[in-house]
Amino acid sequence: MGDIAVEKSFFYHLRSLLPVEISVPQGLMKNVLVSVGYFRFRTRLAAKGAEVPDLDLYRPLYVPWEGQPEFKQYYDLIRPHTLVSPDRCWILLRFLQHARQLPGDFAEFGVFRGGTALLASHVLRQADDRRALHLFDSFAGMPQTSPGEAFEKGDFSATSEATVRSLVAPTGANVVFHPGYIPDTFADAGINRLAYAHVDVDLYQSVLDCVEYVYPKLVPGGILIFDDYGFPCCSRAREAVDQAFSSRQEKPIYLPTGQAFVMKLA
């Protein structure tokens, strides 16, 4: 136990000495291959003469989040305000569009500076859809965390409700703010049905509380998507998802983006 505490403290403090966004040059080789036309050539060969629309977005598989015009139009607007990578935002966009066909409100749990909330606002506004988008966050950072978590109380405090309000207001979407700590803010939220819930809260207890709140309200076909499932800093969030669904009929589907989702069965 002592060793774990020392180890956590070592990595936690080491990370605080480094820049917040450490970019690993894992895409470097891919970028070089793109710029020399390797993937274009490879795609033509692999297609064996068949027509391939969006040829430049095969690297080697189709990667629409790297330039598909509809997505780019949304992502360029949210990029400065989100921690969520383009591939994950692409998944969110598709689930938002899916959920628009269903009855029920949309909700996000874990908003921080509002980037992924802005994506949902734009999708609703673009479709002239007046359903509510509910935003849950303390807007003052993490609550008390549990043992084994890579975060501390107060992390993500560099935001405010006013900042996010002014970000989403120009979209004209019907955004409802629920500032404060989850689950306290659930009591008076007044939500009956949900078609889309994005849970991006990183912590074991916060994830569990969100599932208990969202699941009964999710309409058949509704989407519950977890941002943090596959990230090493959020292994306790994964534990919470697995625990919450161990006794439910839906099985969380893990994506190579790090996200996991559940589509509510009837």
Q: Which amino acid is at 162?
A: A
Q: How far apart are CA 41 and CA 48, in angstroms?
A: 11
> How many of the other CB atoms lie within 10 Å of CB of 59?
19
Among 90, 124, 135, 138, binds ligand SAM (CB under 6 A): 138
Residue number, nearest CB to ligand SAM: 110
Among 66, 137, 149, 161, binds ligand SAM (CB under 6 A): 137
Told to check if 195 binds ligand SAM by CB under 6 A, we report no
Among 202, 218, 224, 241, binds ligand SAM (CB under 6 A): 202
Residues 6+ apart with CB under 8 A from 82: 89, 112, 113, 114, 115, 116, 118, 119
Nearer to ligand SAM, 111 or 197 (CB): 111
What the block records as the tokens of 119 is: 């994506």
Among 104, 110, 252, 258, binds ligand SAM (CB under 6 A): 110
Told to check if 200 binds ligand SAM by CB under 6 A, we report yes
Nearer to ligand SAM, 39 or 109 (CB): 109
Nearer to ligand SAM, 116 or 257 (CB): 116
Q: Which stretch binds ligand SAM (CB under 6 A): 23-31, 66-74, 94-102, 112-120?
A: 112-120
Told to check if 112 binds ligand SAM by CB under 6 A, we report yes
Order of strands, edge to edge, in the sheet holding 105-109? 174-179, 132-137, 105-109, 194-199, 218-226, 260-263, 253-254
Q: Which stretch binds ligand SAM (CB under 6 A): 9-17, 53-61, 107-115, 251-259?
A: 107-115
# residues near ligand SAM by CB under 6 A: 21
Told to check if 181 binds ligand SAM by CB under 6 A, we report yes
Q: How far apart are CA 31 and CA 123, in angstroms?
A: 30
Told to check if 171 binds ligand SAM by CB under 6 A, we report no
Nearer to ligand SAM, 39 or 71 (CB): 71
Residues that bind ligand SAM (CB under 6 A): 82-84, 110-112, 115-116, 137-138, 141-143, 156, 181-182, 200-203, 206
